């Protein structure tokens, strides 16, 4: 039983709700939710994005463009199925090129979603709430886009089920010693659990949507999805346990997924791939690009849907800080890779690889990568830049480009000149490479737009718990703002 003095009926002091406190650092003043919100205003504001009749015109326009690109993807993949992967620029020696570059890039983008929703939940970071649903959705769609590349790279996507351990008449089983089978397990587990985590998080909000919907069809739709959720205390109790456990399971999962992806390379003997630094370096890079993508999407979305009250400058600032931190880790890896290659390994092929990266035929890509990924985050040291939204948007896009280049540099440059000059080659993308990649961007954007129109993009019930009204009077957690900052 609780020992709270529940008969004290005073509301929680509002001092935490974003009011300026003299002597406190100005950035700490920025609230997680804009002041003045109630439970009802949160419900109304977020559910109205979906339930309000009339779709904004910009939404149709963007959807049209995005789905046109997605159709390009469909076309490119159809041609591929008929003609084979010869339509791509892949060749000997560059057998893995844009396809795997895009795969790793998309998987990495998904990571911020899991990081925000799982790791920050475990660390009790309240600011994650407003962007968690958004980024979890991003994870799911990014992993879907990622999955397209390895499946079609097999050349015979209709036989992709051979990668799964299914009993079959041939008696053939996957090779469990192969990193590619690890990939299948890691990515499909990651996708499945991301969907479970995302859907479980949606259930109470779907119930809210059901209760607010006016038309019978919409009511039935959300009613079916919310499975009869009624906010019972017993349900909440199990629900909270399950969310914490899922977060606890997703945290090692997200680290393992990109580590496994990096082991595809690290298990190979090609210079530039055979590197033990890869797993942590890939994970940091993934989080880096993921946060860049969250910013790229959240900045326009908050403006267009009028959600500035919930995705505040605090969120933008914090995401900028995470980008800075992960950008520095990535920068560290860029510094040490040449050191390992040139000085420490004593391996002449490694030495050649580093020099080839810096001064070989792909040198412009390498230096652009350094510019994008190492120089860009340095701007984020300044609070003025982190609070400048247009500039931050540009920086996020630059980081996305940089992370794509990083994957390309690792894959194509390492492959195109290996041990024997007689087996050297060069990779040039074809129009189908471009169409497939740009097409996945279109597919991703299409799915995000459809999601934003159909589902609450901010977890309402979780956001309500961040309101001062949610904490009952006399609760031991109630402290003044000064006390919280001092502790």
**Which residues 193-212 are close enough to bind another protein by CB under 8 A?**
193, 196-197, 199-200, 203-204, 207-208, 210-212
Backbone angles phi, psi at 348, to 5 degrees: -70, -25
Q: CB-based burial of residue 249 (10 Å sphere; 0-12 exposed, 13-18 middle, 19+ buried)? A: middle
Contact segment (CB under 8 A) with another protein among 21-29, 84-92, 341-349, 461-469 equals: 461-469
In DSSP notation, 135-164 reads: HHHHHHHHHHHHHHHHHHHTS-GGGGGGGS
Structure tokens at 92: 């000997």
The verdict on 395 binding another protein (CB under 8 A) reads no
Separation of alpha carbons 61 and 65, rounded Å: 7
What are the structure tokens assigned to 334, written together? 């860029």
Could you say which residues in the range 406-445 bind another protein, by CB under 8 A? none
Helix H or strand E segment including 94: none
Q: Which stretch binds another protein (CB under 8 A): 73-81, 153-161, 282-290, 469-477?
A: 469-477
* Site membership for another protein, residue 4 (CB under 8 A): yes
Give the x-and-dash track for 5-34 against another protein (CB under 8 A). -xxxx-x-----------------------
Residue 423 phi/psi, 5-degree rounding, is: -105, 20
**Binding residues for another protein, total number by CB under 8 A:** 78
**Can you tell me whether residue 455 is helix, strand or coil?**
coil
Q: Measured from the CB atom, is 57 or 124 closer to another protein?
A: 124
Pick between residue 310 and residue 352 the one whose CB is nearest to another protein.
Answer: 310
* Shortest CB 218 distance to another protein, Å: 14
Q: Is 98 in the site for another protein (CB under 8 A)?
A: no
- What's the min distance (Å) between Cβ of 464 and another protein? 5
Sequential DSSP letters for 171-215: -----TTSHHHHHHHHHHHHHHHHHHHHHHHHHHHHHHHHHH--S
- Cβ distance to another protein smaller for residue 31 or 179: 179
- Comparing CB distances to another protein, the nearer of 95 and 468 is 468
Computed from CA positions of residues 38, 43, 49, 52, in that sequence, does the dihedral angle turn out positive or negative?
Answer: negative
Q: Does 289 bind another protein (CB under 8 A)?
A: no
Per CB under 8 A, contacts with another protein among 264-283 are: none
Instruction: Provide, rounded to whole angstroms, the least separation between the CB of residue 460 and another protein.
Output: 8
Cβ atoms of 447 and 439 within 8 Å: the answer is no
- Out of 97, 104, 148, 186, name the contact with another protein by CB under 8 A: 186
CB of 67 to another protein, least distance (A): 31
d(CA 241, CA 410) in angstroms, rounded, equals 41
Residues 26-85 binding another protein (CB under 8 A) are 38-40, 43
- Cis omega before residue 287 (within 30°)? no
Q: How far is the CB of 342 from another protein (least distance, A)?
A: 31
Other Cβ atoms within 10 Å of 416 Cβ, number: 20
Cα 243 to Cα 268: distance, rounded to the nearest angstrom: 38
229 touches another protein by CB under 8 A:
yes
Q: Which stretch binds another protein (CB under 8 A): 155-163, 244-252, 345-353, 382-390?
A: 244-252
Pick one of 23, 26, 53, 171: the residue that binds another protein (CB under 8 A): 171
311 C-beta neighbours (distance < 10 Å), count: 24
User: Which of 82, 158, 176, 217 is close enough to bind another protein by CB under 8 A?
Assistant: 176
Select 6 or 378, whichever has its Cβ closest to another protein: 6
Contact status, residue 427 vs residue 416, Cβ threshold 8 Å: yes
Residues 381/386/392/398 CA torsion (nearest 10 deg): 20
Contact between 473 and another protein per CB under 8 A: yes
Please identify which residue in 92, 169, 216, 233 interacts with another protein, judged by CB under 8 A.
233
Q: What x-and-dash track marks residues 143-162 binding another protein by CB under 8 A? A: --------------------
The window from 59-67, 75-83, 243-251, 347-355 that contacts another protein (CB under 8 A) reads 243-251
- Please identify, using beta-carbon distances, which residue of 210 and 357 lies nearer to another protein: 210
**Which window, 318-326, 334-342, 391-399, 470-478, contacts another protein (CB under 8 A)?**
470-478
Assess 165 for contact with another protein (CB under 8 A): yes
| Cα–Cα distance, 370 to 422 (Å, whole number) | 30
User: Toward another protein, which CB reaches closer, 453 or 475?
Assistant: 475
CA distances from 163 to 86, 258, 268 (A): 22, 19, 20
Answer for which of 24, 64, 122, 172 binds another protein (CB under 8 A) is: 172
Given its phi and psi angles, is residue 346 left (phi above 0), alpha (psi -120 to 50 degrees) or beta?
Answer: left
């Amino acid at each position: 039983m609780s020992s709270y003095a529940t008969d004290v009926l005073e509301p929680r002091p509002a001092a935490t709700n974003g009011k300026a406190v003299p002597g406190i650092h100005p950035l700490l003043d920025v609230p997680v939710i804009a002041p003045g919100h109630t439970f009802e205003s949160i419900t109304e504001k977020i559910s109205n994005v979906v339930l309000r009749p009339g779709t904004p015109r910009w939404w149709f326009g963007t959807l049209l463009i995005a789905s046109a690109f997605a159709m390009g993807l469909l076309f490119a993949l159809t041609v591929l199925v008929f003609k084979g992967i010869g339509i791509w620029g892949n060749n000997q020696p560059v057998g893995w090129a844009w396809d795997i570059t895009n795969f790793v890039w998309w998987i990495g983008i998904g990571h911020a979603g899991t990081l925000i929703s799982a790791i920050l939940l475990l660390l009790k970071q309240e600011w994650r709430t407003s962007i968690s649903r958004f980024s979890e959705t991003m994870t799911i769609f990014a992993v879907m886009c990622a999955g397209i590349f390895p499946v079609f790279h097999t050349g015979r996507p209709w036989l992709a089920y051979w990668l799964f351990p299914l009993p079959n008449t041939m008696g053939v089983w996957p090779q469990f010693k192969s990193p590619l089978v690890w990939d299948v397990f890691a990515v499909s587990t990651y996708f499945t659990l991301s969907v479970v985590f995302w859907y479980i998080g949606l259930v109470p909000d779907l119930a809210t949507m059901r209760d607010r919907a006016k038309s019978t069809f919409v009511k039935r739709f959300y009613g079916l999805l919310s499975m009869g959720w009624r906010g019972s205390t017993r349900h909440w109790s199990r629900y909270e346990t399950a969310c914490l456990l899922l977060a606890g399971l997703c945290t090692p999962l997200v680290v393992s997924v990109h580590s496994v992806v990096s082991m595809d390379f690290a298990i190979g003997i090609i210079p530039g791939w055979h590197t033990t630094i890869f797993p942590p370096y890939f994970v940091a890079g993934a989080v880096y690009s993921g946060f860049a993508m969250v910013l790229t999407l959240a900045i326009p979305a908050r403006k267009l849907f009028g959600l500035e009250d919930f995705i505040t400058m605090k969120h933008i600032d914090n995401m900028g800080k995470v980008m800075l931190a992960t950008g520095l880790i990535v920068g560290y890896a860029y510094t040490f890779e040449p050191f390992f290659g040139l000085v420490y390994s004593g391996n002449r092929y490694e030495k050649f690889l580093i020099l080839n990266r810096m001064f070989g035929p792909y040198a412009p890509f390498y230096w652009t990568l350094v510019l994008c990924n190492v120089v860009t985050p340095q701007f984020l040291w300044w609070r003025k830049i982190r609070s400048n939204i247009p500039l931050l948007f540009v920086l996020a896009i630059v980081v996305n480009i940089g992370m794509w280049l990083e994957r390309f540099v690792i894959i194509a440059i390492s492959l195109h000149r290996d041990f024997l000059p007689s087996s050297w080659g060069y990779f040039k993308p074809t129009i189908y490479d471009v169409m497939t990649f740009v097409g996945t961007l279109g597919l991703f954007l299409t799915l995000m737009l459809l999601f934003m129109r159909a589902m609450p993009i901010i977890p309402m019930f979780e956001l309500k718990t961040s309101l001062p009204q949610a904490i009952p009077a006399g609760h031991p957690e109630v402290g003044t703002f000064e006390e919280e900052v001092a502790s």
